Amino acid sequence: MSSSQGILRGVILFLAIFFIRISAGYAQFNALVWSDEFDYTGLPAATKWTCEVGGGGWGNNELQYYTLNDSHNARVEDGILIIEALKESMGGREYTSARLISDGKGDWLYGRFEIRARVPGGKGMWPAIWMLPSDWIYGNWPASGEIDIMEHVGYEPSKIYGTIHTKAYNGSIGTQKGSSVTGSDWETAFHVYAIEWTADKIDFFIDGTKYFTFNNQGTWETWPFDKRFHFVLNVAVGGNWGGVQGVDQTIFPKRMEIDYIRVYQSADMKITGPAYLETDQSATYQSTSFSGGSYEWQVPADARITSGAGTSEIKVTWGDSEGDVSCKVTLGSSVFSAVYPVKKAILPAENTFWFGNLTDGNTTDIAGITTDGNTYEFSESNESLKVIYHIVNPSTWPKFEITLPRPVNLKNHPYCAINLKTSNLSHSVSLRFDFADVNGVETNATPVFRPTITADGRYHNYQNNYTGRWISSSPVVGQKVDSTRIMKLITYVNSGAFGIANKTDSLWIESIRFMKSPLTSVDQAETSETDIHIFPNPVTDHLTISSNYLIEEIILFDIHGKQVKRVAINSRASDINVSDLAAGVYLLRTINGAGVVATQRFVKK
């Protein structure tokens, strides 16, 4: 190459990089994290490429044999990677060529991937620049996906194709997704082939013009593209697609030429890992991965990095201090950094953990969830937390929350005791206690902690045993609550099917305790929710209700709170026909003349 040609090539390269960087910036992929500029001579760089070897058709009835580190088939000269197909016999095949992969040397999840290349023409030629999964998490092809950045078949000299294959959409069943661009100089001029791949979609470009978008449809069968992929560069001869019109024996040798390959990712560096740790707890932290980057991690002085120093993922044994996990990545002349604060989780050292500070006069850690006009007043004194509520609409599930400054590990403290008092003058105090972990998963699976309140204006302890019951039913049935990271108490007052509209009342909470053992030698079972008795339960056709007070009205609700039956009576006992109800769980509410409400569950067979 002459000096003038070199200067011209340098100017063109500068302009290409300039406009490419602008394009990458618009897509928020503004860090060049990996590239091969082919500014060397000889075999492709072993630090970036591996030659796949062999014949056998490669799943497409191809005719070539791919060679190992043979400069006749793959070499770099004059700043260009050449992959060349020759008509020569090897391994029982009539042609040789090369297939280069970056697996284990260049693997990425998301980014902008650019290749400036010129493709070979002629009947029987099938060059491709594409990507395959590095880990095959979803299974063998096509389940784990394939991204064809550029494909060209010689019998269609005017077409360049970009294609996606997944389990739902693939060439074996004719459902692959893609598009093509028509041109006249694919085989004589260099063009920039690119994709921009995010968590939501993959866009396909030629020379900066987008011509196809494949969107994430939300299932792994249609979108396996949430895992790492690597490059594949090859020139095939013949095959199911390339050889549709046969192979022209007179055209060889034929070469694909690649000027450069560049990978851009977002420079918005992040660190992920647990936000709360205990002393001597081990944890893993990951930073945004930049291929070829140099990683420098820092942790508090009393924490130890046990493995992964110098990589994008470390394992840490935590100390006694709160502090930051930080990472600095040097990538060429660029430096990226991120800081991730880590707080200490509470590990109770004694038999009892006191949940929340209820008497410090500070209510900033308490919040009433106000909807439809429901209101709360909170005050703290040396005696207890006082709560005054006014509930307009119980169907909005009125509640207030107490949040800890940091989570607590209650795995070995499953017994909860809440000491409170109320006079229940409005007959509307109907409490339910849920606890939530740092991810917001709540202990709302049946049986919930819903004590029967003694309304005598004196303090009483109400207990619940969470052994084996750190379970949620909403929004995901059977989801485990992380008992090692409990963060919040959610108290429902006068809510749902148990609530009464337009009521005001008050209660005092003296303490909330979690213990390794119950307050007494025998774990207290939950007390009955009501002062009524129903028989039989489960029931088939008729339900007998009895009470120690005069019942004026009975209302039945389904499990969703919808009223299904209402009966007026004036007796301490009654027989209710439920033969018209569908099988399921129901709530039975009784109301007396003083407005006292009692509720009980029953099962209809």
What SS3 string covers 166-224? Answer: CCCCCCCCCCCEEEEEECCCCCCCCEEEEEEECCCEEEEEECCEEEEEEECCCCCCCCC
pLDDT category at 2 given cuts 50, 70, 90 is: very low
Is pLDDT at 167 greater than 50 in this prediction? yes
State whether CATH 2.60.120.200 applies to domain 31-265. yes
| Amino acid in position 20 | I
Q: Indicate the class that CATH gives domain 352-515.
A: mainly beta
For the residues 222-244, what does the mean pLDDT come to? 97
pLDDT category at 18 given cuts 50, 70, 90 is: very low
For the residues 273-288, what does the mean pLDDT come to? 93
Which pLDDT belongs to residue 531?
A: 63
Query: How many Å apart are CA 127 and CA 239, to the nearest integer?
Result: 11
Cβ burial 558-585 (10 Å sphere, 16+ → b, else e) = beeeeeebeeebeeeebebebeebeeee
Question: In sequence order, what are the residues at sequence separation of 6 or more whose Cβ sits closer than 8 angstroms to the Cβ of residue 586?
Answer: 556, 557, 558, 559, 564, 578, 601, 602, 603, 604
Which pLDDT belongs to residue 600?
A: 72
Query: How many Å apart are CA 6 and CA 39, to the nearest integer?
Result: 12
pLDDT category at 476 given cuts 50, 70, 90 is: confident
- Distances 319 to 14, 262, 283, 339 between C-alpha atoms, Å: 50, 42, 12, 18
Which pLDDT belongs to residue 598?
A: 67
Which is more confidently placed, 548 or 211? 211
For the residues 406-433, what does the mean pLDDT come to? 94
Which pLDDT belongs to residue 389?
A: 96
Question: In sequence order, what are the residues at sequence separation of 6 or more whose Cβ sits closer than 8 angstroms to the Cβ of residue 165?
Answer: 141, 142, 145, 146, 148, 171, 176
SS3 (DSSP) at 91: coil
pLDDT tens string 172-200: 999 999 999 999 999 999 999 999 999 99
Pairing of strands 276-277, 334-344: parallel
Query: How many Å apart are CA 550 and CA 307, to the nearest integer?
Result: 71
SS3 (DSSP) at 479: strand
Which pLDDT belongs to residue 234?
A: 98
Which is more confidently placed, 563 or 198? 198
Fold designation for 271-344:
Immunoglobulin-like (2.60.40)
pLDDT tens string 26-52: 347 877 888 999 999 999 999 999 999
Look at the alpha carbons of 355, 360, 363, 368 in this order and tell me if their dihedral is positive or negative.
positive
Question: In sequence order, what are the residues at sequence separation of 6 or more whose Cβ sits closer than 8 angstroms to the Cβ of residue 207?
Answer: 191, 192
pLDDT tens string 111-135: 999 999 999 999 999 999 999 999 9
Which pLDDT belongs to residue 394?
A: 92
CATH architecture for segment(s) 532-604? Sandwich (2.60)
- Distances 601 to 330, 468, 555, 572 between C-alpha atoms, Å: 63, 23, 12, 18
Is pLDDT at 25 greater than 50 in this prediction? no
- What mean pLDDT is reported for the chain? 88
Query: Where in the sequence numbering do the catalytic residues fall?
Result: 146, 151
| Two domains, one topology: 31-265 and 271-344 | no
Give the residue among 462, 456, 408 at the shortest CA–CA distance from 435. 408
Kindly report whether the peptide bond that precedes residue 300 is cis, defined as omega within 30 degrees of 0: no
| pTM for the whole structure | 0.50
Which pLDDT belongs to residue 593?
A: 64
pLDDT category at 334 given cuts 50, 70, 90 is: confident
Which pLDDT belongs to residue 425?
A: 94
For 374, counting Cβ atoms within 10 Å of its Cβ (0-12 exposed, 13-18 middle, 19+ buried), the class is: buried
The residues spanned by each domain of the chain are 31-265, 271-344, 352-515, 532-604
Is pLDDT at 4 greater than 60 in this prediction? no
Token digits for 516? 């390794």
Which is more confidently placed, 372 or 319? 319
End-to-end CA distance of the chain: 89
Considering the chain, what percentage of its residues have pLDDT values greater than 90? 67
For the residues 71-80, what does the mean pLDDT come to? 98
For the residues 576-602, what does the mean pLDDT come to? 76
pLDDT category at 558 given cuts 50, 70, 90 is: low
Which pLDDT belongs to residue 293?
A: 81
Instruction: List 590's β-bridge partners, or say none.
Output: 554, 598
Residue the block writes with tokens 């850690």: 365
